[in-house]
Structure 1
Amino acid sequence: MPGLRPRHLLAQVLLACAMMACATASLAASPRVERVVIIMRHGVRAPIVGEAPLDTLTGAPWPTWSVPPEHLTAHGAKALDILGRSDRRWLAGLGVLPALGCPAEGQVRIWTNTAERTIASGEAFARGLTPGCETPVGHRPPNEVDPLFEPLRAGVAPFDPAAAIASIQAYTGGVDHLAARLQPALDELDRVLDCGAGKACSPRRASSVAPSADGRGIDLTGPIRDASGTAQVLLLQYVEGLSPAAASWRGVEPDTLKRLGALHAALFDVFTRPPYMTARQAGPLSRRVLEALDAPSVGGVDIFMGHDTNVTAMAAALGARLDAPGYATGDVPPGGALIFMSLVDDAGSRSVRVYYQTQSPQALRGLNDRVSRPAIGVLGHDSRAIPSGEFRRRLEAAITTNTDSPD
């Protein structure tokens, strides 16, 4: 170094060495990723039969879908393939999966619910995550009830309808008040549907919550129940590329869809977020998540392909807020996922970092590879991590309410 005296040169060398030592120490202190678990909603599908009630009026016919009701679309499969490729790059960078080639046996495990849309979604995501690898996608026989994803329908948890309804009413302040709070969104939905000036396009039944006929769940009636499905269909039309169309649905743009999404998100304030419902909806998946994180092999990923109820119930169990670009707070878009990353540092301390992964409506529609994947906080903790012991205690609170173990 010209112009530096030996004394100054020595100081520069010592400073450089100190900086290198600090960088090395910082690198050594970075926690290592042990395993990743993903709880995901299926991809873009055609509307479910009855999702937009038959007595919902519109100013133009509903668009025609290219697949049967409830099925994953070809567009939805492509979006999941793109998402899988994005996740492969991310996970390979973390050392969870190899950058090239096929993962070792057992490094990637995929289990889906039994509906066509979840099985097809698991297969599409696998094609992107492990291209050319024939990664197996496991599931029960098609259309059989899998208690992992549908514990109430499967009857694997003790269920007291009166206790459930009390919890729902306390959490929402009353389902009639929930509907009243969302009146601006209901009014906007009427304007979008354009069924005629001064008319309520969606039914305006009184709000109520009652035990289901089989005693295994609850039934919600009223404007939220009726309008939530319609709002979801409008979102699905947009991301599929069916609206805005040349002659109809001109007003359904992303900003409008985000506001209307509050109607769909409100369903989870009834079915998954009240504490009594959270414990029963999240129990079986909580058990499986903990088993996956306890797997002895280092590295690898478990994917559970289910529904928006699975994502919202797991988030509620952890006290995690679901916010994503382009969507109403608390709503879960097609392909939306909670990601749990198990970490261990050099001292052997373990923690779990939680991510919320989504593709915006524009990304889903345009089939681009822009993915939002921020680390998110859980109740009492910021977005950095939660100690493994506390993560486990929160999920075990849901597990203990399920006396029967799903196989």
Structure 2
Amino acid sequence: MAVGLLTVLAYLNYRLYYPPQLRPADEEVVQQLRFLRTELHERNAGERMQQLYPEGLVYLNSLYALTWTELLPHVPANSRLGREARTEAHWALQQLQSPVALSVFNPDLPLPYGAFYQGWSGYVRARYLAALPPAERDAADQHRFQEQCALIAAALETSASPYLESYAGAAWPADGVVAIAALAWHDRIYTPRYQALIQRWLAAVDTRLDAHGLIPHEVKPGSGAVLKPARGSSQSQLLNFLFEIDSTYARTHFQRYRALFLTSRLGLPGLTEAAAGAPATEDIDSGPVIWGVGGAASLVGRRTMQRFGDTTTAQGLRNSIEAFGLPWHDSGGKYYLLGQLPIADAFIAWSNSLSPHQPLTSPEHWRWRFQLLSAGLAALAIGGLWVSRKKR
């Protein structure tokens, strides 16, 4: 048992020094995408994730497309990898329009099919179009994107709440933030037309925050009254999109989020699902919550920290995932958690794809608490082995 403990400690400390291979692209992310490609094309991963929760297929294909899209500016367009990135991103975008993807969403909502579907599919289409030279943008994709933006804008203009419904009688503000980010990207790609609406939306959001001054996790449809306060999983996600809407506004929210959700376990960083002082919570949105640390909050929080410039925490979260997430390489690519939950692999890949040619920098001593604890446990294990040998 002592030998096993020493082996585990050595492995964990080694993985905390994980350095991704960033040339010619982020090779680790490419290997993750190769695993996801097989899962999606050959093993129906989208349908399998949809059986776990209704948004599974849209979530998985959206993250898959966005991760390929993040790589596009960093690889030559005519290279094998560049062609693969464009082909796979567009394939995933088409999956978002499939009858299976649409089947779980309501076309009769004020925003047809709801904020989750229109937000994510519109945002993915925006990022894909933005990554292409204007002459190479497909006319049908552009028309569909313009149509989605018009629908989102029209629904907001007639809504008393800044948080549109995702399902009939259910509104999760994080979904609406993605939809507004799609409008913000419209105004980067084309002649701006939604800036005034976005500013009105931000002002309305300020009137419907939770007690901590953060965007709530769930609100009452129609009024936007808080039903569930901010949680780590939704904050980690929505802050990535809020940054693209208004980075100055988003930084204020990020500072509150960091103060309320960033924690440390065994000397390593993590994001809690519940805010400091709030009762513990766990559900399908949070993923597993271990010792108060949320799985989804931490996986996506790694990207959030890098997005807002906290590179020390971002590196700590990334390398902790590499240490404890059971990463594995084989001929099919790279995957985590034995490859049993492709949506987790997709979140990790998307989180790792941000600015792949800007390596995270941090003081080397950020690991010291975990290393000190490891040294203590190693000393006990070695002492146990010595006593055992003396007795024999």
| TM beyond 0.5 | no
Q: Which structure has more helix as a fraction of its residues?
A: 2
- Larger RCO (alpha carbons 8 Å, 6+ apart): 1
Q: Which structure has more strand as a fraction of its residues?
A: 1
TM-score bracket, normalised by the shorter chain, equals: under 0.3
TM-score by length of 2: 0.27
